[in-house]
């Protein structure tokens, strides 16, 4: 691959010492994007289908089957649902456990995203540093030659100034795009964990009210019989 009639190796060599930390940043950014991409693909969940299936199973009243269904999923939302059902009859303890497990799940989902955020800020600054050092070299060359310079005398410094900026942006832009994409996934999972807990609260609240009404009706019927 060539750019501006130069190979990538040639462009790297024309850059300043800043190219080395930029290379390291590019390796780290690529590794994080690749690892996070695989992770998010693995935990992908069709939330609407899960919600529909969960509602159907809950209406059947077979809680062990619901828990078995949730444990088959790698996504934190079914796992949180399973945790809810496991502590269904202890409201105070359940709320504390859900907060804890939800925080752990979000921490895992957001792992290494700050690395991408840092790279989006660091790499353009490194590129700017290379630009400044390249311009300093160019002006130093002008000073050494007493102002009697040819364009070729400044080419090295100008190459250095421009190449580092270009490579800094080439690294920063994909890292920024990946960061915002992954962050949106984390936010969506967080909101849906809140949704599913709220829906479970609503379901079991209605269920308990219905059972109470049935019990009261049965009691009234027995009193009438007596």
Instruction: Give residue-wise pLDDT tens across range 61-71.
Output: 888 888 898 98
Q: Which of 210, 207, 209 is nearest to 61 (CA)?
A: 207
**Model-level pTM?**
0.78
Phi-psi region of 46 (alpha: psi -120 to 50; beta: other; left: phi over 0): beta
**Chunked in runs of 10, what are the mean pLDDT values of the chain (226 residues)?**
61 74 93 94 91 89 87 90 87 86 90 93 89 71 61 60 85 95 93 91 70 39 41
pLDDT of residue 18: 83
Say if residues 21 and 126 touch (Cβ distance below 8 Å): yes
CA dist., res. 46 & res. 202, Å (int): 22
Q: Do 109 and 223 touch, CB atoms closer than 8 A?
A: no
- What CA–CA distance (Å, rounded) separates 149 from 194? 67
CA–CA gap between residue 214 and residue 208 (Å, rounded): 10
Residue-level length of the chain: 226
Answer for the pair 70, 100: CB distance below 8 angstroms, yes or no: no
Q: Write the burial class of residue 223 (CB in 10 Å: 0-12 exposed, 13-18 middle, 19+ buried).
A: exposed
- Are residues 105 and 193 in contact, defined by beta-carbon separation less than 8 angstroms? yes
Q: What is the pLDDT of residue 116?
A: 94
Contact 116, 178 (CB under 8 A): yes
DSSP structure string for 5-21: TEEHHHHHHHS-TTHHH
The secondary structure of the chain in percent helix, strand, coil, rounded to multiples of 5, reads 85, 0, 15
Collapsed DSSP state (helix, strand, coil) of residue 112: coil
């Amino acid at each position: 691959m060539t750019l501006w009639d130069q190979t990538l190796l040639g462009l790297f060599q024309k850059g300043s010492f800043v190219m080395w930390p930029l290379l390291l940043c590019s390796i780290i950014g690529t590794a994080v994007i690749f690892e996070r991409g695989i992770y998010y693909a693995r935990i992908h969940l069709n939330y609407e289908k899960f919600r529909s299936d969960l509602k159907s199973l809950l209406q059947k009243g077979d809680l062990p089957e619901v828990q078995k269904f949730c444990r088959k999923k790698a996504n934190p939302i079914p796992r949180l649902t399973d945790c809810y059902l496991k502590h269904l009859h202890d409201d105070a303890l359940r709320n504390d456990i859900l907060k804890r497990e939800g925080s752990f799940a979000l921490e895992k989902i957001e792992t290494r995203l700050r690395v991408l955020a840092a790279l989006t800020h660091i790499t353009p600054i490194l590129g700017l540093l290379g630009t400044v050092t390249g311009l300093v070299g160019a002006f130093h060359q002008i000073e050494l030659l007493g102002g009697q310079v040819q364009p070729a005398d400044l080419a090295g410094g100008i190459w250095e100034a421009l190449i580092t900026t270009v490579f800094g942006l080439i690294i920063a832009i994909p890292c920024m795009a990946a960061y915002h994409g992954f962050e949106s996934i984390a936010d969506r999972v967080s909101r849906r964990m809140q949704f599913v807990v709220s829906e479970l609260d609503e379901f079991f609240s209605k269920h308990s009210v219905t059972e109470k009404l049935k019990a009261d009706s049965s009691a009234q019927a027995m009193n009438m019989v007596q």
